[in-house]
Copies of this chain bind each other. A is one copy, B any other.
Amino acid sequence: MPDQSIREARTPGAPAAEPASGAGGVSRRALLGTAGATGLVLGAAGAAAGYAAAPAGPTPLTSVGSGRAVFHGKHQPGITEGLQACGHLVAFDLAAGAGRKEAAALLRRWSATAERLMAGEAAPHDDTGVARDAGPSSLTITFGFGHGFFARTGLEKQRPAALDPLPDFSSDRLDKSRSDGDLWVQIGANDALVAFHALRALQKDAGSAARVRWQMNGFNRSPGATAHPMTARNLMGQIDGTRNPRPADADFDQRIFVPASGEPAWMAHGSYAVVRRIRMLLDDWEKLSLSAQEQVIGRRKADGAPLSGGSETTPMDLEKTGAGGDLAVPLNAHARITRPDRNGGAAMLRRPFSYHDGIDTDGTPDAGLLFVCWQADPLRGFVPVQRKLDRGDALSKFIRHEASGLFAVPGGAAKGEYVGQRLLEG
């Protein structure tokens, strides 16, 4: 059974070097690429695995459903895969009395569940049936550790320096109850019921060892809804992720993943995730004219091209001036400030979800971006960029950082191993 195929409708930040081959038997990494170039969801060969097979007969080909990521590997899933249509971000705190032993057992349970669900199979125990009939739908499940985890498990000496709290930013309006957490789980899938099913299974696995601290639901464009080889649009209508590093870049691994020889050793091939719930002040934003919005961003809304000209991928001409002598891309334009080559080579892989939790008590939309970015070192990724934005970003009037988390996401588990085993049994 060709069970290692991934079909993504778009691979916003992370097309791979290799072209996607026909079907099955090829590595996950090899398949991250070209389906996104057309936006078409290709019919993947082979039936979906596990209980996705119908009781009544063999499962015919599906498009979205048969997309499959693989749990075991050098890196955890959910980092370089294309954006999924649905996502849940959840933080857990270890329960009072739960320590290293309980945490190890939890990560073992979680890993077993993640492996099965990502293969389109039922959860190990008491499956709710909500994902039944659907294929794996490109489900990915990713686990991380927060700063507080290490003291609670007696593993302070193993806590990475990179997990030191992020600096305060003047524009932060952080809700502590929706920030941080001992453990972090990222769930993404191209079907909302598949994602919900995974969320419930992982919550049940937590048992008495951990309780949910916060949970956020997000979404991206559906596979097949657009035919353009674009990145993604956010709820401001802006193309997002244009300058994301790509796996084909020579320095991609170096920037995004902790090296094999990195410190601490248990973080080899891991990455650090910065999570920010960024409210968009859409009522204010939508009052701006198109031209004013483009001046704030520094790119054209329609196609993402820099205001200095060209297309989405054209490098920005920072010096170009217009007829009146003004810079084509204003000094405080968001896209100018965030350019990696003006941030000491800082690079992070942004892989967000949009969110929309309805209408707030003041009548404004509670909507925006669940910003998730990945880097080998937050002090060379998120922090320097956010510091610059904090000082002079024209976009800052239209957004509000409402929650924040920083998590150490260890490398992928080998077969027979669970995520974090090298930490918890090291």
Report which A residues bind B (CB closer than 8 A): 38-41, 43, 48, 52, 54-56, 59-65, 85-86, 126, 128-130, 132-135, 137, 190-194, 196, 200, 204, 211-212, 215-217, 219-228, 230, 233, 235-238, 282, 286, 301-303, 311, 354, 356-359, 363, 365, 367
Contact = CB atoms under 8 A, between A and B. Distances in A.
A120 to B, nearest CB: 11
A334 to B, nearest CB: 16
B227 A61 contact: yes
A286 B200 contact: yes
Contact of A215 (B134, B191, B358): B358
B221 A192 contact: yes
Given A137-B222, A193-B221, A302-B129, A63 B62 contact: no
A358 B217 contact: yes
Contacts of A365: 200
A49 to B, nearest CB: 13
A363 B212 CA distance: 8
A64 B286 contact: no
A134 B62 CA distance: 21
Given A130-B235, A192-B85, A222 B225 contact: no
B192 A219 contact: yes
A233 B127 CA distance: 14
12 contacts: A39-B62, A40-B62, A48-B227, A56-B303, A62-B225, A63-B224, A129-B301, A193-B233, A200-B286, A200-B365, A204-B286, A215-B359
Given A135-B225, A135-B226, A217-B358, 9 more contacts: A60-B227, A62-B226, A85-B192, A134-B221, A134-B226, A192-B219, A193-B219, A193-B220, A211-B363
Given A196-B356, A217-B358, A354-B193, A64 B237 contact: no
A134 B237 contact: no
A95 B227 CA distance: 41
Contacts of A219: 86, 192-193
A126 B200 CA distance: 40
A194 B224 contact: no
Contacts of A52: 226
Contacts of A133: 226, 228, 230, 233
A313 to B, nearest CB: 11
A192 B354 contact: yes
B196 A367 contact: yes
Nearest to A219: B192
Given A200-B286, A359-B215, A63 B65 contact: no
A52 B303 CA distance: 12
Interface-centre pick from A38, A41, A228 (highest chain B CB count, 10 A): A228
A129 B237 CA distance: 5
Contacts of A192: 85, 219-222, 354
Contact of A233 (B39, B130, B238, B302): B130
Contacts of A194: 225
A357 B359 CA distance: 12
Given A227-B62, A227-B65, A222 B85 contact: yes
Interface-centre pick from A41, A63, A235, A237 (highest chain B CB count, 10 A): A63
Interface-centre pick from A192, A221, A225, A282 (highest chain B CB count, 10 A): A225
Nearest to A63: B224
A132 B235 CA distance: 11
A191 B237 contact: no
A302 B193 CA distance: 15
A24 B237 CA distance: 30
A224 B359 contact: no
Given A62-B40, A196-B367, A215-B359, A130 B237 contact: yes
A292 to B, nearest CB: 12
B63 A63 contact: yes
